[in-house]
């Protein structure tokens, strides 16, 4: 077990939270299922750094100083289900070329970014939980979520979104939970929510938005 880390042989997990690590420990056991590296000083994920971790299911890299992810950093992670990489210094270009082009079969992904593109999630259609929060993001491109037909939970909290486009939720046939807490939303048009979405949603969180209580929201008040 790496120094300053806690290893659990029963849960097959390693936790190195807040251990002042500047890089991924070299002597991590390859058979682990969970690796928690939150709140460290890691800045780079080298090529093949996780190669051989075929059982790794949960990977927590949030709250580090990551600015660069080398090509092939996630090669061999055939079992990865959850990747948490928010609160770092990553550009959206780095995320697109390193994480999303790897065609990982993730079901849960959390990140923070100041912008996203329409193609960012096109290779991870298996996502069931997506969380993008706590950033300076002001808008979401219309087709960013296209193809995420298995997505069940979507969180866009603590951003600065002021507008929901008409086609943003198109193809989200499985979505049951939507959170848009603490944004800059004033109006949501009826055309922004497909009929199947209105029928499927069971949990909706919209607090801390400067809503304009006008006739434009009448349909919404009737629905809820």
| Structure confidence by residue, pLDDT tens digits, 112-143 | 665 676 777 776 778 888 888 766 677 777 78
First-last CA distance in the chain:
52
pLDDT of residue 107: 75
Q: Which of 50, 75, 57, 61 is nearest to 13 (CA)?
A: 57
pLDDT of residue 161: 85
E strands, the chain, in order: 6-8, 13-15, 34-36, 44-45, 58-60, 68-69, 82-84, 108-111, 129-132, 153-155, 177-179, 203-205
Cα gap 219→36, rounded to integer Å: 45
Q: Please count the other Cβ atoms lying within 10 Å of the Cβ belonging to residue 110.
A: 19
Domains of the chain: 1-111 (3.80.10.10), 144-224 (3.80.10.10)
Confidence tier at 61 by pLDDT (50, 70, 90): very high
- Percent of the chain's residues with pLDDT above 90: 30
pLDDT of residue 168: 83
């Amino acid at each position: 077990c790496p120094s300053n880390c806690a290893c659990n042989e029963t849960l097959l997990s390693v936790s190195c939270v807040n251990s002042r690590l500047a890089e991924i420990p070299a002597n991590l056991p390859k058979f682990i299922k969970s690796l928690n590296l939150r709140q460290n000083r890691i800045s780079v994920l080298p090529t093949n750094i996780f190669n051989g971790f075929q059982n790794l299911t949960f990977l927590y890299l949030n709250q580090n100083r990551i600015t660069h992810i080398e090509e092939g950093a996630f090669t061999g992670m055939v079992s990865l289900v959850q990747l948490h990489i928010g609160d770092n210094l990553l550009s959206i270009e780095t995320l697109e070329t390193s994480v999303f082009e790897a065609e990982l079969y993730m079901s849960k992904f959390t990140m923070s970014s100041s912008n996203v593109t329409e193609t960012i999630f096109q290779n991870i259609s298996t996502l069931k939980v997506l969380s993008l929060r706590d950033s300076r993001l002001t808008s979401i491109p219309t087709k960013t979520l296209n193809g995420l037909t298995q997505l069940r939970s979507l969180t866009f909290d603590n951003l600065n979104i002021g507008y929901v486009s008409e086609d943003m939720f198109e193809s989200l046939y499985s979505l049951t939970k939507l959170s848009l807490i603490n944004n800059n939303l004033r109006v949501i048009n009826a055309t922004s929510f497909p009929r199947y979405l209105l029928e499927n949603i069971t949990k909706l969180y919209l607090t801390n938005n400067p809503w304009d209580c006008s006739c434009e929201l009448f349909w919404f008040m009737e629905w809820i």
